[in-house]
């Protein structure tokens, strides 16, 4: 998979400069059953991504999400305009595969 976002821009995104588009939206919408990266988006993922598409803080959201997740497996749901599988791939691209629970490889 080739990611279209510039990884350095993503992690350097500034703080929120607007109101998140998901404010007041049922949080469950952002936790649809996750599709595999090689498969197309599910209808439920598309519904969540449609909210993100109109969000003024999408870069900040994605940056914060990536920073808060210490391992890719903790990346869950739709955030920052990306589905779970895409954000896990981006997390691995940015940070590599980190050992769980601080274990050394
Ligand atoms: S980009 Fe983040 S803050 Fe904006 S609607 Fe999506 S999940 Fe909410």
Task: Provide the residue-wise pLDDT of the chain in tens; the chain has 105 residues.
Answer: 444 455 455 555 556 678 999 999 999 999 999 999 999 999 999 999 999 999 999 999 998 898 888 888 889 999 999 999 999 999 999 888 765 555 444
- 77 DSSP 8-state letter: S
User: What pLDDT shows up at residue 73?
Assistant: 87
The answer, as to whether pTM is greater than 0.75, is: yes
Question: What are the beta bridge partners of residue 79?
Answer: 82
User: What pLDDT shows up at residue 30?
Assistant: 97
CB atoms inside a 10 Å sphere around CB 90: 22
| Ligand 1 pocket mutation pick from 55, 77, 78 by most atoms within 8 angstroms of CB | 55
- 32 DSSP 8-state letter: P
State in Å: Cα 103 to ligand 1 middle.
32
CB atoms inside a 10 Å sphere around CB 57: 22
User: What pLDDT shows up at residue 17?
Assistant: 73
| Ligand 1 pocket mutation pick from 30, 62, 80, 82 by most atoms within 8 angstroms of CB | 80
Burial of 16 (0-12, 13-18, 19+ CB in 10 A): middle
Q: 3-class SS at 10? A: helix
What Rg value do the Cα atoms of the chain yield, rounded? 14
């Amino acid at each position: 998979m080739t990611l279209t976002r510039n990884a350095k821009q993503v992690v350097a995104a500034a703080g929120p400069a607007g109101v998140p588009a998901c404010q007041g939206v049922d949080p469950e919408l952002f936790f649809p059953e996750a599709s595999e990266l090689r498969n197309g988006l599910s209808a439920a993922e598309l519904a969540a991504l449609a909210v993100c598409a109109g969000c003024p803080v999408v870069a900040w959201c994605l940056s914060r999400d990536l920073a808060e997740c210490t391992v890719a497996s903790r990346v869950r749901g739709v955030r920052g305009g990306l589905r779970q599988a895409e954000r896990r791939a981006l997390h691995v691209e940015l940070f590599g595969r980190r050992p769980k629970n601080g274990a050394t490889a």
